[in-house]
Structure 1
Amino acid sequence: MLHVLYLVHDLSDPAVRRRVDMLQAGGAKVTLAGFRRADKATAGLEALSPIDLGQTHDGKFAQRLTAVGKAALGLGARLCGVRRPDVIIGRNLEMLALARRARSMFGGDMPVVYECLDIHRLLLGNGGVSRVMRAAERMLGGKASLLMTSSPAFVRDYFERFSQIDAPVALLQNKVLELHRRPAPAGNGAAPLPAAGEPWVIGWFGALRCRKSLELLGAFTQQAEGRFKVVLRGRPAYTEFADFDGFVAAEPHMRFEGAYRNPEDLAAIYGQVHFAWAIDFFEEGLNSSWLLPNRLYEGCLHGAVPIAMADTETGRFLAERHMGLRLEAASVEALTTLLGTIDAESFAAMRDRIAAEDRGTWVCDRRDCLALVERLKGLTARVEPAAMLQTA
């Protein structure tokens, strides 16, 4: 059985659970270690008894660097007793540094995989800090055996453009992990069309970190005078908002309904909305323009029509498939033009186009999990005898 040491930047990130589930479903044994941004790991990871490397904080880059340095110094003690892995995966740049450190401790000859699902803005500037960061990434990733990423734009517009990582690429899109397909609810679980006088509902779910989206949706729903409302669910990045809770409370057509379980609650929450907000201006023109977000796949799988910016990778993804709605400008006027003529007939046609798409566009199943683990097995040139990491 392939043994994977998985080093992650945030044990409380639901996406970490999804990757762990994929690896386990593919037949791998996973040892999980990482930092946490919350008090505990996300639900579903308890059985792994994750190795806690300490706490880090959103938006505190210097603190994160300090935490990584401390973790590197104490990594031998933390991994003492862990069986030698066959593959080490480092999720994000700081964890790639720890993956290289762990590799040397275990003997220095097992493959290291760099999993990069976001390109931090500090990597993208022209100043000295950005150049140093990119140089560090090139150095740390110089001997990576595989680059795992979630959007072709990350490869095209960053890794190839800056000549960062010379390694084979595994494209693992942010699809919904479906290991045990459940029978679809009546009506396929999609939200019913609004009755006369009821609003169309836009759902914005997941990592809520975009102040510009919040303000745009607030202004739009006020101008629409009740014809549209917005439901928010997930984890707000409070450091990015002056007063997230106060803003939402003051908006008459907007409400925040808290966190949800992924994937357990997806059908229920998307079954209450007509549109999925697949827009993020958090790092506008950079990472936000390149990513293919979870909510794109989640919404389409459950019958919610996605709304994306036309000039982003998400917009191009939808244009290629002739589906969804593409916003030309980030303004109330443009959003009103895009949605102002929506009626039952036009909405049904958009939903039908999404339903006609192959389910594999939105879903990752057990076959994909097996393929991932086989890809990782292929990186191992030889199998070493099992051994525990010993510390002095």
Structure 2
Amino acid sequence: MEIRSLGFIEHGKYFRRIWTLLASAKTIRKKIGHQDYIYSFNLDMLFLAWFSTLFLKDRPKFVYDLLDIHPILYKKTVLSGLLRAFERFLVRKTNVVVVASPFYIDGYFHELQTLYSTSYHVIENKLNTFDLPQNEGNRDVLKKTDDFPMVLGFFGIIRCPRSLKFLYKFLETSNGKFHLYIRGMFLVPEQFKELILTSPFVEFGGSYLYPDELSEMYGKIDILWAAQQLGEAHTKLSRTNRFYQGCYFKKPMITQAGTKDDEIVAGSNLGLSIDLNQPEQSMELLRNIDDVKRLDWQNNLNKVPKEVFLITDEYQELIQKLKTFSKKKNLILV
């Protein structure tokens, strides 16, 4: 496999990407060769794939992998409508749309985009068995609540300011009975990062290597923090990586009420449902966590079917689906 950089772009600066994308088209066109598929991650890369192959006689087929629905695509503004129209145009030229959440199909592509005849394939953000460590250790050790401090883990991309404000106040008013262990990357205004890192009850271990360091990270915590508010599309349609990892590592989860994570966590009693919009009430719920509740959560986590959090045959099914469009196997990723 050959990997080639097409340039540098800032996270979230979607309109600033346009010139970088257009400049990359020539490189992509040269590399197309006899490729049969172009597998594109997210809308900007799908546009690059389409633009780079304009007027080619033997045009490759397109696969559009939508990892996340950008908030602007879910809004009811003129700009959002124009971007959705542009996406509809490209999707109608796409052979398969791969989505990270099954709720994207009905809640977004059917309801908002009216794209009913498109071929969809679901590959959730579950863990791959070949990625997982061979020596898992004891993934369901239950520390007694009296053995303070109880350690909360907040992992991944940290992009919810409300969560950080809530956690800072909660830790400051909990008399050292709770600590917070953070690993990942902050994508919040600097003042929120500085706020949480000033707490003496917070340890920040920096970024991490996925999946190599997951076992070490989850081995240091008692409860996984998965409560956040990231917009309507995320709340209604998305399930986070933290949910799948929490199920695998048997860590009870704290989730935001009304989210897709919370739908399963609260429904199957895998952890605690809180509402960041009601901070005082939610903090009291956290302080009332006891051994009985945690044992119930642990027992229920042990009953979660592996298919809920582990990849099974999703990739093989996608390959079979692609074979129905072409007997060839060459693929380029953008």
Matched, 1:174 2:120: no
Quick check: 1:90–1:114 contact (8 Å CA) kept in 2?
yes
Amino acid at match of 2:71: R
Quick check: 1:76–1:105 contact (8 Å CA) kept in 2?
no
Aligned residues: 331
The answer for the alignment partner of 2:78 in structure 1 is 128
Q: Deviations over 1:276-331 (max 9, x none)?
A: 12223232x23244211111111110111122122111112334434332224433
SS, match of residue 247 in structure 1: helix
Q: Deviations over 1:206-239 (max 9, x none)?
A: 11111111111111122222221211111112xx
The answer for the alignment partner of 2:274 in structure 1 is 327
Matched, 1:306 2:253: yes
Quick check: 1:191–1:272 contact (8 Å CA) kept in 2?
no
The answer for the alignment partner of 2:197 in structure 1 is 249
Amino acid at match of 1:278: A
* Counterpart-to-counterpart distance in 2, 1:225 and 1:200: 12
Amino acid at match of 1:271: G
The answer for the alignment partner of 2:324 in structure 1 is 378
Q: Which runs of 5+ in 2 are unaligned?
A: none
The answer for the alignment partner of 2:227 in structure 1 is 279
Matched, 1:265 2:213: yes
The answer for the alignment partner of 2:66 in structure 1 is 116
* Counterpart-to-counterpart distance in 2, 1:201 and 1:332: 19
* TM-aligned CA deviation for residue 164 of structure 1: 4.8
CA RMSD of aligned residues (A): 2.6
Q: Which runs of 5+ in 1 are unaligned?
A: 1-47
Matched, 1:61 2:14: yes
From 225, 243, 249, give the equivalent of 2:175. Answer: 225
* TM-aligned CA deviation for residue 70 of structure 1: 2.3
The answer for the alignment partner of 2:88 in structure 1 is 138
* Counterpart-to-counterpart distance in 1, 2:289 and 2:99: 35
CA change 1:204–1:105 in 2 (3 A) is: farther
* Counterpart-to-counterpart distance in 2, 1:251 and 1:79: 51
From 359, 362, 377, give the equivalent of 2:306. Answer: 359
* TM-aligned CA deviation for residue 90 of structure 1: 1.3
* TM-aligned CA deviation for residue 241 of structure 1: 1.5
From 163, 167, 176, give the equivalent of 1:213. Answer: 163
Matches of residues 286-301 of structure 1 in structure 2 within 5 Å?
286-301=233-248
* TM-aligned CA deviation for residue 377 of structure 1: 2.2
State the TM-score, normalized to the length of structure 2: 0.89
* Counterpart-to-counterpart distance in 1, 2:132 and 2:80: 44
CA change 1:215–1:268 in 2 (3 A) is: same
* Counterpart-to-counterpart distance in 1, 2:163 and 2:67: 21
SS, match of residue 30 in structure 2: coil
* Counterpart-to-counterpart distance in 1, 2:320 and 2:4: 25
The answer for the alignment partner of 1:34 in structure 2 is none
Amino acid at match of 1:361: V
Amino acid at match of 1:97: F
Quick check: 1:289–1:312 contact (8 Å CA) kept in 2?
yes
* Counterpart-to-counterpart distance in 2, 1:269 and 1:387: 35
CA change 1:177–1:131 in 2 (3 A) is: same
CA change 1:195–1:335 in 2 (3 A) is: closer
* TM-aligned CA deviation for residue 81 of structure 1: 4.8
SS, match of residue 151 in structure 2: strand
* TM-aligned CA deviation for residue 348 of structure 1: 1.7
Amino acid at match of 2:317: A
Q: Deviations over 1:5-24 (max 9, x none)?
A: xxxxxxxxxxxxxxxxxxxx
Q: Deviations over 1:172-220 (max 9, x none)?
A: 111011116655544x234541574512111110111111111111111
* Counterpart-to-counterpart distance in 2, 1:273 and 1:105: 55
The answer for the alignment partner of 2:30 in structure 1 is 80
* Counterpart-to-counterpart distance in 1, 2:59 and 2:293: 57
The answer for the alignment partner of 2:4 in structure 1 is 51
State the TM-score, normalized to the length of structure 1: 0.77
Amino acid at match of 1:334: Q
Quick check: 2:186–2:193 contact (8 Å CA) kept in 1?
no
Q: Deviations over 1:68-115 (max 9, x none)?
A: 2222xxx23345255422221111111111121344465454321111
* Counterpart-to-counterpart distance in 2, 1:242 and 1:387: 40
CA change 1:136–1:148 in 2 (3 A) is: same
Same amino acid, percent of matched pairs: 24
* Counterpart-to-counterpart distance in 2, 1:287 and 1:66: 29
